[in-house]
Chain A
Amino acid sequence: MTHKTGSITRIIACAVFKPTLEHLELGNRYPDLRITYLPSDLHLRPEELRNRLLRKMASAQKRGERVICLYGDCFPNIDDFCKQHGATKVPGHCCYEMLLGSERFQQLIDETAGTYFLERELILNFEEYCVRPLELHDEEMRRCFFERYQRLLYVRQPSDPDLMPQAGELARSLGLSLEIRDADYSHIENKLIELL
């Protein structure tokens, strides 16, 4: 027998989920829960995201912690990747789906496939996450990327500041309409509780 496994569970989450986890106050219900956030800009560098996730998982496991990953399918085979490294991924395809619930997400895509989703992190960092890497200041690139889209759909979370001016500006610059839906945390909460 090696050293004793502690009772600590660590969630390694994308920073996109910070408002969610803070709102759910899981720490109050699960005193042995610890949360580590990784910056959401890692999505721009999927290989680095993999490596950072791996390092965080390994160091948590070295401390004897059980690891849960709160991510979407942000790089290919992320489920198997987590499993292989002894962690469990919270089921879910992307953050928007996890914030809305899969049924509602699917409904919105079925209604209008040309829906581009926004949440707090993306709105606040749109320049860094989309405009610069996709070169959206170039009109032709904007057309290449977004010509088939019809609407922006802002998934609003309870603790969001007023992001409507920024979201409105994005809609204008991309020539899309803007709609808002409130996040429904019950889905992600249930999934987390099941794993905890």
Chain B
Amino acid sequence: MSDYKALIEAVIKGDIKTAVAETQSVLDAGSNARDILDKGLIAGMDEVGERFSKGQMFVPQMLRSAKTMKECMKLLEPFFQEGDITSKGKVLIGTVKGDLHDIGKNLVSMMMEGAGFTITDLGVDVSPESFVQKAKEVEPDIVAMSALLSTTMPSMPRTIEALQRAGIRDKVKVMIGGAPVTEKYAQEIKADSYASDAGSAVSKAKNLLGVS
């Protein structure tokens, strides 16, 4: 069994050079790409999320760790493209209208992608109409919305209504998140799911679609 301690450590530190070298070295040693991703990169990012929520890490360090994971994923991608993995589902994600915070949303996208979901990222300041239009085009399983401002949270129910009006609300699961968003709010606006961080976003998305 491979030891991913050094890789996990490098992801936590945001040390791209060491992490990339470690990824290459465990690949060369015959480790499975899925294993490296799950037990190395994702495990590292889970620890980063943990430290962040405890206030032991701040946003720039988290960004460095995320970038480190991204760089390492580039080395793993060819293995997944060779059919090592089938998509767990399609996720359409964006930060809602009027809101330009994207760090959390990007992290959720990255972790979901790492877990095997296919992501379409609409970016920031996404209007309900843009969510609907893209949803018609890509036919996602999940529409995921992020909001970091209490002033922009109302765009979430507006998007749900727009999906309803377009007749596609029943065809998608709606998932929401962002620092001011709560489970209670998700229930109020009749979203299907809420997650407080990227790690639980992945497990909740799997639950929603009944995949493991």
B100, CB-defined interface residue at 8 Å:
yes
Interface string of B158-171 (1 = CB under 8 A from A): 00000000000000
A76, A94, A138: most-surrounded residue (chain B CB, <10 A) = A76
Q: How far is the CB of B196 from chain A (nearest CB, A)?
A: 10
Q: Are A77 and B182 in contact (CB under 8 A)?
A: yes
The number of A-B residue pairs with CB atoms under 8 Å apart is 46
Q: Are A113 and B151 in contact (CB under 8 A)?
A: no
Q: Which residues of B contact A106 (CB under 8 A)?
A: 98, 151
B125, CB-defined interface residue at 8 Å:
yes
Q: Are A76 and B182 in contact (CB under 8 A)?
A: yes
| Contact A113-B97, Cβ < 8 Å, known A45-B55, A135-B60, A148-B124 | yes
Q: Are A113 and B98 in contact (CB under 8 A)?
A: yes
Contact residues, A43-86 vs B (CB, 8 A): 45, 47, 73, 76-77
Q: Which of B58, B98, B103, B150 contacts A109 (CB 8 A)?
A: B98
Interface string of B25-66 (1 = CB under 8 A from A): 000000000000000000000000000000100111001000
Q: How far is the CB of B53 from chain A (nearest CB, A)?
A: 11
Q: Are B180 and A73 in contact (CB under 8 A)?
A: yes
| Contact A73-B150, Cβ < 8 Å, known A135-B60, A141-B63, A144-B63 | yes
Q: Which residues of B contact A77 (CB under 8 A)?
A: 182
A175, CB-defined interface residue at 8 Å:
no
A25, CB-defined interface residue at 8 Å:
no
A residues at B contact (CB < 8 Å): 45, 47, 73, 76-77, 93-94, 97, 102, 105-106, 109-110, 113-114, 133-135, 138, 141, 144, 148-149
Q: How far is the CB of A143 from chain B (nearest CB, A)?
A: 11
Q: Are A149 and B100 in contact (CB under 8 A)?
A: yes
Q: Is the interface of B mostly helix, strand, loop or mixed?
A: loop
B58, B59, B60, B97: most-surrounded residue (chain A CB, <10 A) = B60
B209, CB-defined interface residue at 8 Å:
no
B22, CB-defined interface residue at 8 Å:
no
Q: Are B151 and A97 in contact (CB under 8 A)?
A: yes
Bound CA–CA A51/B58 (angstroms):
20
Q: Are A134 and B59 in contact (CB under 8 A)?
A: yes
Bound CA–CA A144/B149 (angstroms):
18
- Further 8 A-B residue pairs, CB within 8 A, beyond A93-B150, A135-B60: A76-B180, A77-B182, A105-B151, A106-B98, A114-B100, A141-B63, A148-B102, A148-B125
Contact residues, B121-135 vs A (CB, 8 A): 124-125
Q: How far is the CB of A154 from chain B (nearest CB, A)?
A: 18
